Every structure is written in C-alpha cells, then in structure tokens.
Structure 1
Amino acid sequence: MPTYPFLTDLVRALPATVPFVGPEALQRMRGRPFRARLGANESVFGPSPKSIAAMEAAAASAFMYGDPENFELRAAIAKHHGVSIENVAVGEGIDGLLGLAVKVAVAPGEVVVTSDGAYPTFNYHVAVGGGRLVKVPFRDDKEDLGAVLDAGRAENAKILYVSNPNNPMGSWWSAFEIEGMISALPPTVLFCLDEAYCDTAPPAAVPDIDISNPRVLRFRTFSKAYGLAGARVGYALGEAGLISIFDKIRNHYGMSRSGQIGALAALADQDYLAETVGRIAAGRDRLAQIARENGLAPLPSATNFVTMDCGRDGTYATRVLDEIIARDVFVRMPGVAPLNRCIRVTVGTPDDLDVFAEVLPEALRAAQG
C-alpha cells in the first residue's frame, strides 16, 4: 500500500472528513431521486428571471475567464451598501472567503473560537490550516456571544466566528447585541460575522455596515435568498486595508464568468429579492404549522429554514430524520447535542411542503414504533 512520503505532517494527521453529505450522494446510495429537496437551505424559488436571462446570454462567452478583479460586481456591491469598492472582496461563496480569512489570520497551532454545533465548513478550514478550534456551547438555542468573547480572551484567539442569523437553529441576535460584542473585542482578534441569512432576517437583526473597524469582516452571499447557490458567489465587507490582503492569497481566477454576470443581475433586481423573501416567510409559517400539527415545536427562525424540536434526544430525532428520508424527502438535522434533538427543514414550494406534510406524520409513527 502506498505510504505517500511527500505528505505534510498536518495533512497526514487530518481525518478523512466531509463536512456535508450532499443530496446527490444520498440519491446515488438510495437509487432514486427525492420527491422534495428540503435539506440544503437553497432557495427553490430560484434566481431572478433577469439573472437567468443574463447568464443564458453569457453562455456563448464561456470561453473567456471571469474578470480576475471582479470589478463590476464589486462596484455594484459597494454601491448597494454605500461603501467603496476597496471595501469589497468577492469569492467562491462564503465558504471560500472563510477559508481565506483563516489563512490571513491563523498560523498552525493558533486558536479559533466558534460555537459547538455551528457551521462545520468553517471548522474544516481551521483544521486544514492547522488551527486549534475552541468550541463553546449554544445557550437557549443561540450562539452565546458572551461565552465566545470570554473564550477568545482566555485563549488569546486569532479569530472569533459567529453567524447571525444562525445555522442550524435559525436563531438570531439583535444588531444592538452584535454591535456590543464588536465593541468588546480583544485588540488582537479578527471577528468573522457570517451573515448568509441576513436577507431573510428582521432589519433589527442586521447591524449597519461599518467598514472603519479593521478587526471585523462581514460575510454575505448570493446562495440563499438570491437563489444562486450553484453559482458560488459570496462577498466580504471590511476595512480597505484588511480587504486588500485577500489579494495576496485568493484564487484570482476562481470566479466563473457566468456567476459574476448572474450575481450582478440578481443584485440589480431588488424587487424579485423582496418577493422571494416574502415567499420564504410564508413558507416558514407553513412549516411551523406543519410542525405544530404533528406535535413538534418549531423554533423561531430568521432564515430560509425552520428547525423543529422533536421533544426527545438525538437518537430519536435521528430516527425521525431517517424515516423522512426513507419516504423520499431530503432534510437534515444539527449534529451536536442538545441541538440534535431537532430536525431542520428548508422552505420549499407549496407542493414541496405538501409532500412534507404528508410524510412527516408517517415518519413520526415509524420512529415511535
């Protein structure tokens, strides 16, 4: 068996970890498609028709690389937020940008603080970079801002990571509370604020954009409410000098031309975004109703999914999840106790939610049986 002597000690020590098992892999394992895809937090309502048309028109230019400076898209994002183009970095979704942030701030062995059960892809980037993860528990199904700060100070952390609104629970903090955390940051830390779901959140949960603080990065995406998950377009907002450091390490040709064009058109169609956010809110209400009708407790959500408390432990919730998947509906669940007493269901079309409403009572009976 090959020993691969050229591997670094870091890579050799890494487990063979995949942050998520995708629905495509599950379909291959099962040998049949899902009736409803309600687990990946995508927007089934899709991107703006103007975005689709722009990408279709750009298909003939696919022989060209995307602009390595992402100039037009960065300029449009900057105008949208009232900042300078120098305050915007574009990357391959928030995932890609989080990986760059870890490279910028964390040397092997240095500490990164996150919440136990929060977004696992961020943890993956830290592990690949040789950082040491310190995890604090959720409190009342929310990331514990005070505990994150305390751990950051105690461990002399290089990065503190918080998502607001939160995945996987759908919970959120107010802008006032996030701003309070920022004002209390240790002087040598980088605060990574993941705002993937800010478009579906109440306005009071989203702090005003402030690009004056060189210790704060705000991460946004076109993958959720904008409906462009497959295009892989995200962006970071921050102080100009901090943003410029990304140019030292990013993949300059990492963005596809069609993704740049599609995101540009999606950003320009704010009417469609508002319409989609309304449909997502209606879908959340329907999911909450379905949960209550079946004896589950829907948690308040500011995202495009609803997390449902199954009322027992993770073993039982896993049985519920497995029974739902066995009935051809793709959903997911948090992976860490006590969050794993829940299942998490993405908003779908009315037809998708009808399928879920049909399947859920059957799955619960089977899980209880």
Structure 2
Amino acid sequence: MTYPKPTPLVASLPATVPFVGPETQERARGAAFNARLGANENVFGPSPKAVAAMQAAASEAWMYADPEHHALKQALGAHHGIGSDEFVIGEGIDGLLGYLVRIYVGHGDAVVTSDGAYPTFNYHVAGFGGTLHKVPYKDDHEDLAALTAKVLETNAKLVYLSNPDNPMGTWHPAQDVVAFAQNLPPTCLLVLDEAYIDTAPAGTAPAIGETPPNVIRMRTFSKAYGLAGARVGYAIGAPRVVSEFAKIKNHFGMSRPGLAAALGALQDQDYLGKTLEAVENSRKSIAEIATANGLQPLASATNFVAIDCGQDGAFAKRVLQSLIEQGVFVRMPFVAPQDRCIRISCGTDADLLHFKNALPHALTSAQS
C-alpha cells in the first residue's frame, strides 16, 4: 500500500514525549497519585479573579480569541513599564520556543544549550533540523563561560539559558546574565527562559527595558500564577525580534478563557504575593524533610527543590520509583551528575505529608 510519507527529517526522528505525564503513569499503575509533586505545577491554584474571568469568558468560547492579544499585551506593557510591541503571546513557553526555533533555525544551524537543561527546547531544535551543541553544568549551575565558548566555537544562532534553572533550581545574579548576553556575538540570540523568575530572590532578573537587544525573555502564567492548564506564556524582546513571530505563529492558538484568566491573574498581585509566601514555606518544608532523612537539599529559586540523594543516578532512580509506587509523583534530572537528585515540586501540607511518610521507605528500598 502506498501512502503519503513524512519529510526525511521527520522520518528520521524518534517519537518523543519530553516528559511522561502523571496521567500516563496513573493509567499504568491503575491508581491516582496521592501527591502530584513532579511537574512543577502550582498546587496553590490561580487567583479567584483569574477563575472568575475564565468563568465569565466561558460563555464567549464560541468566538475566536483576539489574534493580536491586544488587552493582555497592553496590561503586560503597563505592568512591566514597556511598550506593548515588545511582547508576543503564545501557548506557554513551550509553544513560544517552538515558534522561535522555527524562525531562526534551519537545517544544520548550530544551537547551544546545557546538557540536562529543559528538554523541550532540544525537541524543537531537532524538529526543525538544527544541530544541538551541549556543555555540562558546573557545580549544579548552567556554566555561562562554557556556553559562551561553545557559541563562539560553533557560530551558534541561538543559545538557551534558564534562570532560575530547571531542573536544579539554581540561579545566576542579573549582572552575570547581562554580562553573558553582552559577550555573545551579535549574530547569536540569547533565549532567556524565566519561567520561575517570580519565585526567585531580588536581583535575579535583569531590569525590564535594560536587557541587551540580543535577548528574548520567556515568561509564563503556568508557574507562580497557577495557570499551567490555561497555556498562556509571553516573550519580551526587541520589536524587530517580536515582529518575526507574526510571520509564522498560530494567530488563533490561544483560547478566550485562557487569555481572560491571564489578565485576571496579572491584575491580582496581592494573591501572587500570598502564593509566593506559600511556595517559600513549602520549599523550607521540603528541605527539612530531606535533611531529616540524611539528604542534602539544594538552595532553590523556583517552586521546586532538588534533593541530592548522595549516590549515583541509578540509586536516585530507585528512590524515585519507590515514591511513585507509593503514590507520590516526582521527577528527576536526566543527565549525570545532576541525576543523583530527585526533584520535588512545592505542595500543600497534605502533599508533603505523603512525601514525608513515603521517603524513608523509598530510601530503604533503594539500598537493597
């Protein structure tokens, strides 16, 4: 039988899901998780104003959303103190990364990232035929000097940096990020993933409006704002960079309820402040649980904590598997030596009690 064939590039790629979802694991184990602490979702939930905005917009779901996303871009401009022409809205950071790679990366074009950094970016680079060059982490941080050297060596068009970092939760101060961008050649664009910037300490984010022009900053409503399921992200960049998205993006990819929710969330900064307090308290609790079990928590600027299990990746994987078998969904870094850790998302007191009760058995089981 003859049938249409995919392009040679697509045919050469493996079927890939960068992250196996907790729902897939629940179906495999035949039971729901007691604690969902693996996807860095915000279990404290969105602002009531965001929920009310979604509910109000539900009756308007028969209409397409404004393809220019005017209201949200105007609100973001007012919030950040810059022009609305410096924003592009997309289906979370994941969607925006896909558009960005499509804009800049052709077959064989060099792209630089850290080995073990956010795999969805790598997925997009492979999907558009780019050549990915990786450098190792240094002391559980993305290595800015090594990234710069690899860009110069490969003449890369894009270099990816998450700050704060996923999966380790570490971070670089703003002045180091700015210096990193300034040291890049003008032909290279820094993709600065700031998904967790709201939970980071002061001095982590370069000042909005003072970012070098060769930087595009990725932000999201999925983390601190609690809207992961709504899929609303945005990028901040020079108008000449942002305008390129209009050539290829899905102009009707956003939903009216999602955009309304993001607008409602942005307008409730008091609720965001309460969420950030809950995240900080949860990070402290996770660290205390880890320490009580003889493990070392890494300092975190995110809504999760990486816990050093003290041995190799195989041991950490056994700990993780035991936690999953006990109904606690967690994840771990993919690449050594970071894979000596497990990664625990911030949770409610009830969530963390499940983790606290399950961890001693997981450690004992992993030793056998």
Runs of 4+ deviating beyond 2 Å: 2-6, 210-214
Secondary structure class of the residue paired with 2:359:
helix
Contact 1:213 1:238 in 2 (8 A): no
Aligned-residue offset at 1:251: 0.1
State the AA in 1 paired with 2:70: F
State the AA in 2 paired with 1:290: I
1:173 is aligned to: 172
Task: Please give the alpha-carbon distance, in whole angstroms, between the structure 2 residues aligned to 1:102 and 1:11.
Answer: 16
State the AA in 2 paired with 1:61: E
2:130 is aligned to: 131
2:264 is aligned to: 265
2:68 is aligned to: 69
Structure 1 position 249 matched with structure 2 position 210: no
Aligned-residue offset at 1:213: 3.8
1:51 is aligned to: 50
Contact 1:314 1:338 in 2 (8 A): yes
Deviation digits for residues 225-282 of structure 1 (CA, Å, limit 9, x no counterpart): 0000000000000111111111001000000000000000000000000110010000
Structure 1 position 286 matched with structure 2 position 277: no
1:354 is aligned to: 353
- For this pair of structures, how many residues does the alignment match? 368
1:203 is aligned to: 202
Task: Please give the alpha-carbon distance, in whole angstroms, between the structure 2 residues aligned to 1:4 and 1:176.
Answer: 55
1:235 is aligned to: 234
Secondary structure class of the residue paired with 2:208:
coil
Identity %, equivalent residues? 58
1:183 is aligned to: 182
Secondary structure class of the residue paired with 1:173:
coil
Q: 1:170 to 1:4 in 2, by over 3 A?
A: farther
2:154 is aligned to: 155
TM-score (norm 2): 0.98
Contact 1:298 1:306 in 2 (8 A): yes
Task: Please give the alpha-carbon distance, in whole angstroms, between the structure 2 residues aligned to 1:3 and 1:288.
Answer: 58
Secondary structure class of the residue paired with 1:235:
strand
1:140 is aligned to: 139
Task: Please give the alpha-carbon distance, in whole angstroms, between the structure 1 residues aligned to 2:231 and 2:3.
Answer: 32
State the AA in 1 paired with 2:158: I
Contact 2:99 2:245 in 1 (8 A): yes
Task: Please give the alpha-carbon distance, in whole angstroms, between the structure 1 residues aligned to 2:57 and 2:13.
Answer: 40
Task: Please give the alpha-carbon distance, in whole angstroms, between the structure 2 residues aligned to 1:105 and 1:210.
Answer: 23
Task: Please give the alpha-carbon distance, in whole angstroms, between the structure 2 residues aligned to 1:213 and 1:287.
Answer: 37
Secondary structure class of the residue paired with 1:56:
helix
TM-score (norm 1): 0.98
**Superposition CA RMSD, Å:** 1.0
Q: 1:211 to 1:235 in 2, by over 3 A?
A: farther
Task: Please give the alpha-carbon distance, in whole angstroms, between the structure 2 residues aligned to 1:4 and 1:362.
Answer: 52
Contact 1:105 1:190 in 2 (8 A): no
Q: Specify every segment of 5 or more residues in structure 2 that has no aligned partner in the other structure, as ranges.
A: none
State the AA in 2 paired with 1:258: P
Aligned-residue offset at 1:7: 1.4
Aligned-residue offset at 1:3: 6.9
Aligned-residue offset at 1:105: 1.1
1:225 is aligned to: 224
Task: Please give the alpha-carbon distance, in whole angstroms, between the structure 1 residues aligned to 2:20 and 2:240.
Answer: 37
State the AA in 2 paired with 1:100: Y
Deviation digits for residues 153-202 of structure 1 (CA, Å, limit 9, x no counterpart): 10000000000000000000000100110110111001100000000000
Deviation digits for residues 113-153 of structure 1 (CA, Å, limit 9, x no counterpart): 00000000000000001000000000000000110010001
Task: Please give the alpha-carbon distance, in whole angstroms, between the structure 2 residues aligned to 1:17 and 1:87.
Answer: 33
1:367 is aligned to: 366
Secondary structure class of the residue paired with 2:39:
coil
Contact 2:313 2:336 in 1 (8 A): yes
2:31 is aligned to: 32
Contact 1:211 1:239 in 2 (8 A): no
Secondary structure class of the residue paired with 1:101:
helix
Q: Specify every segment of 5 or more residues in structure 1 that has no aligned partner in the other structure, as ranges.
A: none
State the AA in 2 paired with 1:331: V
Q: 1:3 to 1:325 in 2, by over 3 A?
A: farther
Equivalent positions of 1:83-162 (< 5 A) are: 83-162=82-161
Aligned-residue offset at 1:216: 1.0
1:11 is aligned to: 10
Contact 1:211 1:237 in 2 (8 A): no
Aligned-residue offset at 1:6: 2.5
State the AA in 1 paired with 2:138: R
Aligned-residue offset at 1:76: 0.4
